[in-house]
Structure 1
Amino acid sequence: MKRKLIAAIGVAAMLGVSACGSDSDDSGDNGSGGGDKTLTVWVMDGSAPDEWVTELNKEFESANEGVTVKIQEQQWNGIQEKITTSLSEDTPPDVIELGNTQTAGYAVTGGLADLTDMKADLGYDSWIEGMVSSTEIDGKLFAAPWYAANRAVIYDKSIFEEAGVEPPTTREEWLDGLKKIEKETDAQPLYLPGQSWYIYAGFLWDEGGDLAVQDGDQWKGSLATPEGEAAMNFYKELAAYTNAPTDIDESTPQQSTDIIPKGDVASWIGLGWEAGGAQAAIEEAGGEADFGYFPIPGKSADQPGHVFFGGSNLAVSERSQNKELAQEWLKLATSEKWMKKYAEATGGALLPNSEAAQVTPEPGSFAEAMVKAADVGRITPVTPGWANVETDPNPIKQYMTNVLNGSDPEKAGKDADTTITERINQG
């Protein structure tokens, strides 16, 4: 999960820039002499609200005399290499925040402590289902989910009102609304770049398919399937209402700050931080943003469309010199009590790991739309090799561009599946 996703709270300006007690010293010092101990926790920049982490550590230190919790903030840029190195050392950080799609890769190297015996203590059975898969591999638990966020449709209320369109609850209503906007206004009904593959993944899950499936001990790409084609066909239907190029994604150029503030876009699909970024850019230019939000519609009104869960987990280093203390800190930080406090500190803009910890988001907010899709959130295939699939050139992106430009979906899917299969099975 990238830094800007974590900054979803920019929508309501709820997090401090730095976690209280953060330290740029990355030495992993686990002892302070005199029998006292220092518990080192790595969190990503922007993940831990000041007040939340301060109060959490105060409670933990009060219950563990002689222990000091040292929070060290890290940057997403280059973090995978940094964590890989630290986990191989004798004094790694005791607790580490990991992107949810990265966790499996660290687990198979032996760098993370096995938490399977702690399932009950950690509240495993109460975790949101879509977050659980990223914490396990081969039936063993190696992390606890911390938070997640997902995309929703962001729309210009004035344009929708001009066209007489209400927020849709089904795909059919969605397409009908876009058609009406095209007819009744001068606005671009939907900004949808051709390579927004996280959005395509949601449509694929709606159809019952997946980006890759396990085949014995191996994995194989699964875009050249009826489900993959159906998902891409729906993407094409939406793309009929956009002027966006077919060979870029939502970040090149960044849709929230480079496209939307220029105006004449009725709707787009994005994250909470993007909604906040667009609003800030519009207001900085002297304009006024009046956004509404709704979940990505599903095939029926009974359930919204599936969404990709971007988020983070918390794990304990296998070589931690304070493993039992680290496990206790993890247990406290991800407990219902402190997850609820976390949700409150982030204004509901990030999803905590259980429904019981969620707070009621403000009516009409992005968070409200995001929460409605929480039950159908999923992540990419949980296997260490998945990271290889996402490296440039991403075969899923190329597949989408090819189909949107007229290629046969089955042939384009087979080409992509060949690359996915090769990459995902690499050691």
Structure 2
Amino acid sequence: MKRKLIAAVGVAGMVIGLAACGDSGDDKGKTDANGNKEITVWVMDGSAPKAWIDEVNKEFEAKHPNTKVKVEIQQWKGIQEKVTTALSETTPPDVIELGNTQTAGYAVTGGLADLTGDKAKLGADAWQKSMLASAEIDGKLYSAPWYAANRVVVYDKKAYAKAGVTPPTTRDEWIAGLEKLKAADASTQPIYLPGQSWYVLAGFIWDEGGDLAVKDGGKWKGQLSTPQAASAMDFYKKLQSFSTAPKDKDEATPQQSTDIVPKGGVASWIGLGWEASGAEKALKDAGKEADFGYFPIPGKTAATSGTVFLGGSNLAVAERSKNKDLAKEWLALAAGKDQMTKYAAETKGALLPNQVGANFTAPAGSFAEAMAKAGVNGKITPVTPGWANVETEPNPIKEFMTKVLKGEDAAKAGEAADKEIAARINK
């Protein structure tokens, strides 16, 4: 997720500005040129398959014939600033997709509707507890968990077969395999790994028993100057040494799945389900054929795969929505078991639905199967309103990674990052 610091005003710092406007959103409601009511839904690029969202809207509009749903696809790049601005306006989108690490930050601004009283209507009892955690703050519900996903290693079966490498189950096997890939074909990167893939690093830190930040005496403090973070970064550095990817960019700059992998010369990379399918399409469009295999990020031992960041999205209703009740009804439909079951099937398990009853049975050897195995060891970033400020560009975790990869001492770079993390997270 790519974001830019908003002139020293973090997401949580918008609370005064949002609260001061005093527009409750319970007025006559937005209407289109024909006098029909209209609700606007913002979803992120890659989150909602067209066939699925068309069906949700068709079902919703059948129940509300005088209401139209306008879906607007958003890009992750710059979305935090865009959402912050939208929630401060008098006519925001009615329903907004938010990253699960960002929801708490927007909740405290007063920009999201309190859905606590709507839990029964929304079907909250069926939602997975691990996903629900990011949707609540101080016992109140501010969004519905929608989907979650985690990264796995995507590899070129032909490149692995040529080098005599099989999917590893431990870190040591992983490194040994990359060595063999390097020896087998000097023109191919054993792994494409940009220097700032911080969600990958987070998993390594958790593997070491560390964390990105911890609460101490009512305040949060960063943990990148710890021995655990240094050890995790050392392993990341070993992996990155097999890649020619830039040390000061993340996986979306350029987008690894559509801008890098289709050009060839990449034996493996770490990505999400939508990236894997995007790479397959890009290769097909280029007249090539994808032959991918998938395996969980290896752990220190074969007994447990590596810990992974369980990222995902929630769906929230804007506090100033002009059609708040209709927005809640759309949300209840989209996040309900029937539509989530269809969602899981439509995404073929590339994204995990918000409830176990809607799960998709993944085919053997698929991305979904590898993701499900890895997801057992999933974790999320600290659930606190200030965490959204940490992710805002320039992200101190990413800067820490680049410094270490370019030779700076991990403890020294970690101290600078921890100072910035504390300043942001405690706003």
TM range (shorter): 0.7 to 0.9
Task: Report what 1:140 is aligned to.
Answer: 140
Matches within 5 A, 1:9-48: 29-30=29-30, 38-45=38-45, 47-48=47-48
Task: Report what 1:198 is aligned to.
Answer: 199
Question: Does structure 1 residue 273 correspond to structure 2 residue 274?
Answer: yes
Q: Provide the rounded CA distance (Å) in 2 between the counterparts of 1:388 and 1:203.
A: 22
Return the letter of the residue paired with 2:67.
T
Q: Report the 3-state secondary structure (helix = DSSP H, G, I; strand = E; otherwise coil) of the residue aligned with 1:147.
A: strand
Q: Provide the rounded CA distance (Å) in 2 between the counterparts of 1:340 and 1:225.
A: 42
Task: Report what 1:368 is aligned to.
Answer: 369
Answer whether contact 2:106 2:112 (CA < 8 A) is retained: yes
Distance 1:36 1:191, change over 3 A: closer
Task: Report what 1:20 is aligned to.
Answer: none
* Structure 1 position 155, deviation (Å): 0.8
Q: Provide the rounded CA distance (Å) in 1 between the counterparts of 2:245 and 2:318.
A: 44
Distance 1:29 1:48, change over 3 A: farther
Matches within 5 A, 1:107-122: 107-122=107-122
Matches within 5 A, 1:12-411: 29-30=29-30, 38-45=38-45, 47-63=47-63, 68-76=67-75, 79-89=79-89, 92-186=92-186, 187-411=188-412
Q: Provide the rounded CA distance (Å) in 1 between the counterparts of 2:196 and 2:36.
A: 52
Task: Report what 1:25 is aligned to.
Answer: none
Answer whether contact 1:339 1:357 (CA < 8 A) is retained: yes
* Structure 1 position 107, deviation (Å): 0.7
Answer whether contact 1:130 1:377 (CA < 8 A) is retained: no
* Structure 1 position 89, deviation (Å): 4.8
* Structure 1 position 292, deviation (Å): 1.0
Answer whether contact 1:39 1:67 (CA < 8 A) is retained: no
Greater alpha carbon shift after TM alignment, 334-343 vs 205-214: 205-214
Return the letter of the residue paired with 1:384.
P
Return the letter of the residue paired with 1:70.
V
Q: Provide the rounded CA distance (Å) in 2 between the counterparts of 1:86 and 1:225.
A: 38
* Structure 1 position 58, deviation (Å): 4.0
* Structure 1 position 312, deviation (Å): 2.0
Answer whether contact 2:205 2:232 (CA < 8 A) is retained: yes
Distance 1:255 1:113, change over 3 A: closer
1:267-316 C-alpha deviation (Å, 9 max, x unpaired): 11122333334334444444433211111112333432222234321112
Greater alpha carbon shift after TM alignment, 141-150 vs 357-366: 357-366
Q: Provide the rounded CA distance (Å) in 1 between the counterparts of 2:243 and 2:54.
A: 46
* Structure 1 position 390, deviation (Å): 2.9
Q: Provide the rounded CA distance (Å) in 1 between the counterparts of 2:326 and 2:182.
A: 59
Return the letter of the residue paired with 2:72.
E
Distance 1:224 1:46, change over 3 A: closer
Return the letter of the residue paired with 1:217.
G
1:196-228 C-alpha deviation (Å, 9 max, x unpaired): 211101111222322122233322111111321
Greater alpha carbon shift after TM alignment, 105-114 vs 392-401: 392-401
Q: Provide the rounded CA distance (Å) in 1 between the counterparts of 2:183 and 2:34.
A: 75
1:355-409 C-alpha deviation (Å, 9 max, x unpaired): 2212123432323322322333333323333333233433212222232333322
Return the letter of the residue paired with 1:72.
V
Q: Provide the rounded CA distance (Å) in 1 between the counterparts of 2:126 and 2:35.
A: 37
Answer whether contact 1:41 1:69 (CA < 8 A) is retained: no
Q: Provide the rounded CA distance (Å) in 2 between the counterparts of 1:300 and 1:421.
A: 33
Task: Report what 1:8 is aligned to.
Answer: none
Q: Provide the rounded CA distance (Å) in 1 between the counterparts of 2:111 and 2:282.
A: 42
Size of the aligned set, in residue pairs, is 401
Q: Provide the rounded CA distance (Å) in 1 between the counterparts of 2:268 and 2:144.
A: 35
Q: Report the 3-state secondary structure (helix = DSSP H, G, I; strand = E; otherwise coil) of the residue aligned with 1:373.
A: helix
1:210-250 C-alpha deviation (Å, 9 max, x unpaired): 21222333221111113212211221232343343433332
Q: Report the 3-state secondary structure (helix = DSSP H, G, I; strand = E; otherwise coil) of the residue aligned with 2:384.
A: coil
Q: Report the 3-state secondary structure (helix = DSSP H, G, I; strand = E; otherwise coil) of the residue aligned with 1:388.
A: helix
Q: Report the 3-state secondary structure (helix = DSSP H, G, I; strand = E; otherwise coil) of the residue aligned with 2:209.
A: coil
Q: Provide the rounded CA distance (Å) in 2 between the counterparts of 1:41 and 1:248.
A: 31
Answer whether contact 1:150 1:309 (CA < 8 A) is retained: yes
Task: Report what 1:19 is aligned to.
Answer: none
RMSD: 3.1
Where in structure 1 are there 5+ consecutive unaligned residues?
3-27
Q: Report the 3-state secondary structure (helix = DSSP H, G, I; strand = E; otherwise coil) of the residue aligned with 1:165.
A: coil
Distance 1:86 1:260, change over 3 A: closer
Task: Report what 1:12 is aligned to.
Answer: none
TM-score (norm 1): 0.82
Q: Report the 3-state secondary structure (helix = DSSP H, G, I; strand = E; otherwise coil) of the residue aligned with 1:204.
A: helix
Q: Report the 3-state secondary structure (helix = DSSP H, G, I; strand = E; otherwise coil) of the residue aligned with 1:249.
A: coil
Answer whether contact 1:130 1:375 (CA < 8 A) is retained: no
* Structure 1 position 62, deviation (Å): 4.7
Q: Report the 3-state secondary structure (helix = DSSP H, G, I; strand = E; otherwise coil) of the residue aligned with 2:148.
A: strand
Q: Provide the rounded CA distance (Å) in 1 between the counterparts of 2:364 and 2:376.
A: 19
Answer whether contact 1:30 1:40 (CA < 8 A) is retained: no
Q: Report the 3-state secondary structure (helix = DSSP H, G, I; strand = E; otherwise coil) of the residue aligned with 2:376.
A: helix
Greater alpha carbon shift after TM alignment, 79-88 vs 285-294: 79-88
Greater alpha carbon shift after TM alignment, 269-278 vs 147-156: 269-278
Answer whether contact 2:100 2:135 (CA < 8 A) is retained: yes
